[in-house]
């Protein structure tokens, strides 16, 4: 039997932020491991710390304490620019509010990460991806000319352009109506399966989380089991 390769590992992660009177701890003692090509959901209510955890795992931010390993890199020891280089190569993102650059066309938004990484085939690959998400005809539209669902499809195409090893998705369907949201989720999972990408999905939606292989539940900056969460709510 093949031993699964650990792709993301967090050890005793903690994150505190300064507030007016002292500091506030947002994450407490988080440890997790995610294997290559695994799909994992981090579930929790608003303010539970799940987006903060995503930012640490993706190398967007650094922990106050603990370690983060991503694809063999010790993110907690690297500078902002070193982490940026890893993001450019190994990480893709899908955000809740799409975050497309308003002054670039759909195609240009898709190719942006590849161009930053110096990929000369970016345009070709961008067109292919837009084809896959069903927006080939809108390649030269600006974000303001696209609907919310279309914008998120562009964002998904952008996330896959560098063939990332890990994809982080932050509430990818929360800003969309139920039907469009479901289409976006389908697209995300199908592309992910096709490329064998590790998926870390942050959501408050149990149904969406249920489509992942594993779930981590968060409450007040800590991992809890479903039972613990129910007990707390109860």
Residues that bind other proteins (CB under 8 A): 51, 54-55, 58, 60-61, 80-81, 83-89, 91, 93, 95, 99, 101-104, 108, 112-113, 115-119, 143-144, 158, 162, 170
Q: How far is the CB of 234 from other proteins (least distance, A)?
A: 31
User: 25 vs 35, which CB is nearer to other proteins?
Assistant: 25
Q: How far is the CB of 51 from other proteins (least distance, A)?
A: 5
Q: How far is the CB of 186 from other proteins (least distance, A)?
A: 24
User: Which one, of 70, 80, 93, lies nearest residue 161 by Cα?
Assistant: 93
User: 115 vs 229, which CB is nearer to other proteins?
Assistant: 115
User: 93 vs 223, which CB is nearer to other proteins?
Assistant: 93
User: 93 vs 216, which CB is nearer to other proteins?
Assistant: 93
Catalogue the E-assigned strands of 71-165. 73-74, 91-94
Q: How far is the CB of 230 from other proteins (least distance, A)?
A: 28
């Amino acid at each position: 039997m093949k031993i699964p390769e650990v792709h993301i590992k967090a050890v005793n992660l903690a994150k505190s932020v300064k507030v007016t009177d002292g500091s506030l701890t947002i994450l407490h003692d988080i440890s997790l491991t995610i294997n290559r090509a695994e799909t994992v959901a981090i579930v929790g209510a608003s303010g539970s710390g799940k987006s903060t955890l995503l930012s640490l795992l993706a190398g967007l931010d650094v922990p106050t304490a603990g370690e983060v390993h991503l694809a063999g890199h010790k993110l907690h020891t690297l500078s902002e620019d070193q982490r940026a280089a890893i993001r450019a190569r190994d990480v893709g993102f899908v955000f809740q509010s799409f975050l497309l650059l308003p002054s670039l066309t759909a195609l240009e938004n898709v190719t942006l990460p590849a161009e930053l990484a110096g990929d000369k085939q970016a345009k070709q690959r961008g067109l292919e991806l837009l084809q896959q998400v069903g927006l080939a005809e809108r390649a030269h539209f600006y974000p303001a000319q696209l609907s919310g669902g279309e914008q998120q499809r562009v964002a998904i195409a952008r996330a896959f352009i560098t063939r990332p090893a890990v994809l982080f998705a932050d509430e990818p369907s929360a800003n969309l109506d139920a039907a469009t949201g479901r289409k976006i989720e389908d697209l995300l999972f199908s592309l992910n399966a096709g490329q064998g990408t590790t998926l870390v999905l942050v959501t408050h939606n149990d149904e969406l989380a249920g489509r992942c292989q594993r779930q981590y539940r968060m409450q007040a900056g800590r991992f809890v089991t479903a039972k613990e969460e129910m007990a707390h709510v109860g």
